[in-house]
Amino acid sequence: MKYTVLSLFPEIIDIYFASSIMAKAVSRGIVEYRPVNIRDFALDKHHTCDDAPYGGGAGMLMLPEVLGKALESVISAASGRVIYLSPGGRPFTQDLAKELVREEELILLCGRYEGIDQRIIDSYVDDEISIGDYVLSSGEVAALALIDATYRLVDRVITSESLEEESFSGGLLEYPQYTRPEIYGTLQVPEVLLSGHHENIRRWRLRKRVEKTLSLRPDLIRRGKESGLFDGETRKLIQELGGDRDERDTGHRSLPDEG
Ligand code: SAM
């Protein structure tokens, strides 16, 4: 997977590619990073990259000619999807991360100020993606979230086992996890996890996944049911835990006691 990132502050992105698991993925040649400093494409000696919006209003917009030149420098026939990180984009989800990871290259355009001239979106952008319903001051933070969620899905970056029962896989959140010590303060690791009984552990974990999802994200349960995502065992647990009652999209609910 190749990430080409267009930014006014590429140093924010550089440090991520030089750290931890990502640095290893880059050194093993699994991930490639191409930073593009938008300011290098400015047209004047002051390296101006922004101007006031037509029609008035607060703030500045990134200049289309500068962005156009920066994009032209990286776009070729073989290039991947051009994505503008934008609060007005379609929501970024685990499913979208899985879709994006099938691309050979992602070209990520990071906005600043009040955003970018619409004509750049019309001319070059394949996808506008938002990382959530809030406004960040910069596209770099959003690009990093997208990069982080996608590169770990690339083959050989982490073990595929780690991805199997993660939150959102199979339409459920992850089960609670514990490590040493067995007793922390007054809190004990659930007995079943110490039993070595793999089938009981598997059943306990599935139950906890359903419980947690019903409590924190009932919208995921509803969507999973609608799309026929759940197997018989999961459907039975949902019913047993009261998940067949009418759910609201958000909000917490209490669960029946575990037997
Ligand atoms: N004026 C814009 C609006 O109201 O939609 C907000 C611009 S924001 C201050 C500056 C840049 O941050 C945007 O161009 C975009 O690249 C990035 N950004 C802000 N919030 C984002 C979000 N939720 N998802 C993705 N990118 C975001």
Q: 87 C-alpha vs ligand 1 centroid, how far in Å?
A: 5
Angle at 59 between CA 112 and CA 146, to 5 degrees: 20
pLDDT over 70 for what percent of the chain?
95
Q: Check which CATH number belongs to the domain holding 227 and give it.
A: 1.10.1270.20
User: Average pLDDT of 169-183?
Assistant: 96
Number of structural domains (the chain) is 2
For residues 226 and 161, give the distance between their C-alpha atoms in angstroms, rounded to a whole number.
27
Choose which residue among 6, 85, 109, 134 to substitute to test ligand 1 binding: the one with the highest number of ligand atoms within 8 A of its C-beta.
85
**For position 164, what pLDDT does the model report?**
83
pTM for the predicted model, two decimal places: 0.92
Pocket lining: 32 vs ligand 1, CB cutoff 6 Å: no
Q: Is residue 27 part of a domain?
A: yes
Range(s) of the domain holding residue 179: 169-240
Tell me: pLDDT of 250 over 70.
no
Ligand 1 neighbourhood includes 111 CB (under 6 angstroms): yes
- Ligand 1 centre distance from Cα of residue 231 (Å): 39
Phi (first) and psi of residue 243, to 5 degrees:
-80, 0
- Asked if pLDDT for residue 48 goes beyond 90, the answer is yes
Cβ-contact 90, 127 below 8 angstroms? yes
212/218 Cα distance (integer angstroms): 9
Confidence band of 163 (pLDDT split at 50, 70, 90)? confident
Q: Is residue 114 lining ligand 1, measured as CB closer than 6 Å?
A: yes
Of 115, 130, 160, which residue is a domain's last?
A: 160
Give yes or no: residues 187 and 146 share one domain: no
CATH number for the domain harbouring residue 93: 3.40.1280.10
Q: Residue 259's pLDDT is what?
A: 38
Closest residue by Cα to residue 250 from 160, 159, 133: 133
| pLDDT greater than 90 at residue 231 | yes
Supply the DSSP symbol for 257.
P
pLDDT of residue 256: 57
The C-alpha atoms of residue 186 and residue 70 are separated, in whole angstroms, by: 58
> What does the pLDDT read at residue 51?
98
Average pLDDT, the chain: 94
Is 107 in the same domain as 228? Answer: no
Residues 179 and 142 both lie in one domain: no
Q: Is 22 in the same domain as 65?
A: yes
Q: Which long-range contacts (CB under 8 A, 24 or more apart) does 95-104 make?
A: 95/168, 96/129, 97/146, 97/149, 97/150, 97/153, 98/153, 100/146, 100/150, 101/1, 101/150, 101/151, 101/153, 101/154, 103/1, 104/1, 104/2, 104/78, 104/80
- The confidence band for 179, taking pLDDT boundaries of 50, 70 and 90, is very high
CA of 142 to the centre of ligand 1 (A): 8
Q: What is the pLDDT of residue 61?
A: 98
Encode pLDDT of 119-161 as tens digits: 999 999 999 999 999 999 999 999 999 999 999 999 999 988 8
Q: Average of pLDDT values for 202-213? A: 98
Condensed to tens digits (0 to 9), the pLDDT of residues 25-43 reads: 999 999 999 999 999 999 9
| 54 assigned to some structural domain | yes
What pLDDT, on a 0 to 100 scale, did the predictor assign at position 79? Answer: 74
Residue 37: Cβ within 10 Å count: 16
